[in-house]
Amino acid sequence: MTIIQELIRDDYSFERAEAIQIKYQNLMKKISKNEYFTSIKHINTIAGVDISYFKDNNNEYGIACAVIWNLKENLKESHFLTTKDPIKFPYKPSFLGFRECKLLAKVISKVPNKPDLIMCDGHGKIHPRRFGEAVHLGYALDIPSIGIAKNPFIGFSDWHKIERVKGNKSSIWAKNPKYLGKEESNDLLGYAVCLNSGNKPVFISEGYKISLNLALKICLATTINHRQPEPLYLADYLSRKDIKYYN
């Protein structure tokens, strides 16, 4: 079974899904940092992806949208695509990738040219097994990815104290720094960041083959008038807009 065949599935039990996450997180550790994006100059196109849901006769469906954003040409949307499918995997925290990645991979497959980077409306390494949706999707498609979530998940941070000014951030740690011993290590999982002045922070973490600092830089560069980067904001807006055609 190939990597994409194993990861882009929605028919696992929770126990099997957790085992898959652990397996691939262990494999992630073997990926050389030399394979990571380290500079924004290497990125031309970004795919912002999101899913909106609706029900029809008690069946749940998702509409996935991929907004293709050109980072070089005056920061603008070049085009977008949508696709619809039934949603089979139940919602449970820390398993969002198994619920959404199959449909997200389908919409990305429609993009004429493979994007350089994926932005996910979900967590990356801010996850109990460091394998949130952004890691999951990026690994499956072998495309660098960033997790940008609207709500906190795990970790310790003073994010609620952040002054709402663009660029202000608070570190998210795996362990509570207040109770660490002098010799005890701690993992930086990501940042809570205000990407736009006056808006609530979002929660940014590495997905696949990208450094945290570069992920932060890209998010700040692509945020214009909203709480999220523009590719994600538009993916959310356009996927929700599409629902009216199915109701």
pLDDT on residue 191: 98
Lowest mean pLDDT among 33-37, 186-190, 233-237: 33-37
- The answer to pTM > 0.75 is yes
Q: What are the pLDDT digits (tens) for 46-76?
A: 999 999 999 988 899 999 999 999 987 755 5
More confident residue, 241 or 50: 50
**Confidence band for 246, pLDDT divided at 50, 70 and 90:** low
% of the chain at pLDDT higher than 70? 97
Structural domains in the chain, CATH included, are 3-151+206-246 (3.30.2170.10)
Lowest mean pLDDT among 5-9, 73-77, 104-108, 124-128: 73-77
* Averaged pLDDT, 12-31: 97
What does the H/E/C string look like for the chain? CCHHHHHCCCCCCHHHHHHHHHHHHHHHCCCCHHHCECCHHHCCEEEEEEEEEEEECCEEEEEEEEEEEECCCCCEEEEEEEEEEECCCCCCCCCHHHHHHHHHHHHHHCCCCCCCEEEECCCCCCCCCCCCHHHHHHHHHCCCEEEEECCCCCCECCHHHCCCCCCCEEEEECCCHHHCCCCCCCCEEEEEECCCCCCCCEEEEEEECECHHHHHHHHHHCCCCCCCCHHHHHHHHHHHHHHHHHC
pLDDT on residue 76: 58
pLDDT on residue 247: 62
**Is the per-residue pLDDT at 77 higher than 60?**
no
pLDDT on residue 79: 86
pLDDT on residue 160: 94
